[in-house]
A and B are shown apart, each in its own frame.
Chain A
Amino acid sequence: MSQYYEHYRKSSIGLALIDSLDELIQSGHINPQLAMRVLAQFDMSIADALSTRVRNRATFKAHLDNYRSLDDVWTFVLLNPIFRFENESIPADKVKIVACKARVPGET
């Protein structure tokens, strides 16, 4: 189980799950161990979904404001990025990218 990244928990869907689990813990309906188990399952499910159910490509250009590489995790802060999907172009004033090293198949 440990071969799945946890950083997708910070996505909208992950944070929503964390909030829901938090509430169930606070009200005493589940214990934290069960919540951690659910999150571990989320790590697997989202990784699976992204790698097998998402097919679209994107390109983006930006000014790189700041960067960091630590323990195989790259963090970029981009200014004025424009993300281009096939038929859609999305500008933003600022974006943070957190990228973990892609898994080589077979490697744990």
Chain B
Amino acid sequence: MANTAVTAVYRFVIDDVITNVRRDFEDMGVDETILHELQRSWENKIAQSRVTAFQAPETNAAAGAYPFEEQGYEQPTTVSATIPAAAAVAAPVAVPAAGTVTTTAPPTPAALASAAVYNYRVEQTPAANLANVASATLPGDNSNVGRPQQHVPPRPPASGNNNNTNNNSRISLPGGGRNGASGSNDNIPQTDGASDAVVELEMMSTAELDSYVEHKFREAQETQKQTGQAPGEVTFTLTLSDRAARKARRDGLEGFTLGQVDGEEDEEDDTGLGSDLDDSDGDMDEESDNIVLCQYDKVSRTKSKWKCVLKDGVMLINGKDYLFHKATGDFEW
């Protein structure tokens, strides 16, 4: 009885959420099919979890008729991307792990916004025992950092173009640093540009990354001013965080294997969107599948006897969901 009521309540919650966020989807310019896909996916996951006799109203035929691939999909909104560190980490995950791979990033919004400027290169570095390393090769011309919408599309590499004022022509021309800069014969030829910095940014926060990148760009510009030579490429290496990597693996991305770098597999959930109630603190967080999420009206204790009055609860017990309006508990410590 308790369990059958759950289905109706979940139905209500899903419909209520979907109805009330429709406006937000519109405001953000996200197509309504995405909203439908969210609902379908959500319902499927609940049904698959078997916590209740929930059935998604549409069967998987809908899923078949709806090839939900990002191929060719264009997000209608412009996404303002600063240095797309997060995107660079997330985007290249979907490459087969085979030696050094060069790929174009999947068209995540940030990648779409910035694809004109950045080349993402994903390479496998087994020696470092790191799962995947994404190198974002940034062109030396950096005056538009943080404002990708202002970037001009990349020009085709102008072969034989000796005009150093046009740095854009140097994109993905690793040898550009020595292409006959006027009067630069007395310089030692540098084959990959003036400021080539390969740095592991694994542990940096987004803000740190931003400032680091900005700093590097300033440096490159200084160099350019002083030497009159184009700075060529600045290379940044972004390492997939362990968490992102695990998420990617969970999502079943092909050929994605991981070297575990932080010891044994731990149990934390990696949804990335949870509340902050899950701070670890000793054995209180020993993972138990059975959980009751609720509110309390009263908690009292007399010696070792506890009483509590709870309300509005969602319970997951032995793989099934239950709900209660009120619950009273007696326990002994």
- Contact assessment for A54 and B327 in the assembled complex, using a CB-CB cutoff below 8 Å: no
The answer, yes or no, to whether B203 is at the interface (CB within 8 Å) is no
CB proximity to B under 8 Å, residues A30-77: 30-31, 33-39, 41-42, 44-51, 53-64, 66-69, 73-77
Residues of A within 8 A of B313 (CB): 50, 58
A60 and B329: CB pair below 8 A? yes
The minimal Cβ–Cβ distance linking B114 to chain A, given in whole angstroms, is 12
Q: In chain B, residues 302-328, which have Cβ atoms closer than 8 Å to a Cβ of chain A?
A: 306, 308, 310-318, 321-328
Q: Pick out which of these stretches binds chain A: B17-25, B95-103, B117-125, B169-177.
A: B17-25
Would A17 and B290 be within 8 Å (CB), given that A28-B107, A42-B13, A56-B325 are in contact? no
Q: CB-CB < 8 A to A98: which residues of B?
A: 277, 291-294
B322 touches A83 (CB 8 A): yes
B79, A31: Cβ atoms closer than 8 Å: yes
Main DSSP-derived SS at the B contact region: mixed
A-contacting 9-mer, from B3-11, B143-151, B188-196: B3-11
Q: Is the CB of A85 within 8 A of B322?
A: yes
CB–CB A28/B106 < 8 A = yes
* A99–B45 touching, CB < 8 Å: no
CB atoms of B108 and A28 under 8 A apart: yes
Q: Name the A residues within 8 Å of B311 (CB-CB).
A: 51, 102
Do residues A50 and B312 form an inter-chain contact, with CB atoms below 8 A? yes
Docked complex Cα distance between A98 and B12 (Å): 23
CB distance from A57 to the nearest CB of B (A): 5
A92 B275 Cβ-Cβ under 8 A: no
- Point out which of B38, B107, B281, B310 has the most chain A C-beta atoms below 10 A from its C-beta: B38
Assess whether B295 is in contact with A103, with CB atoms less than 8 Å apart. yes
Q: Report if A57-B90 is in contact (Cβ < 8 Å); known contacts: A35-B273, A83-B315.
A: no
Partner of A59, one of B41, B68, B314, B328: B328
**How far is B312's CA from A100's CA once the two chains are assembled, in angstroms?**
10
Known: A6-B275, A31-B79, A60-B327. Contact between A99 and B296, CB under 8 A? yes
Residue among A18, A28, A48, A77 with max Cβ neighbours from chain B (10 Å): A28
Could you list 26 A-B pairs, sorted by A, with CB under 8 Å? A7-B293, A9-B274, A10-B274, A12-B49, A22-B272, A24-B34, A27-B70, A28-B70, A28-B109, A28-B112, A29-B37, A30-B30, A30-B38, A45-B13, A45-B17, A50-B312, A59-B328, A59-B330, A62-B329, A63-B333, A95-B290, A95-B292, A96-B290, A97-B310, A99-B310, A101-B296
Given A18-B274, A31-B28, A50-B313, A90–B322 Cβ distance below 8 Å? Answer: yes
User: Contacting A97 at CB < 8 Å: which of B42, B292, B322?
Assistant: B292
> Are A13 and B312 touching (Cβ within 8 A)?
no
Which residue of chain B is the closest to A97 with respect to CB atoms? B292
Docked complex Cα distance between A62 and B16 (Å): 35
Q: How far is the CA of A55 from the CA of B324 in the complex (A)?
A: 7
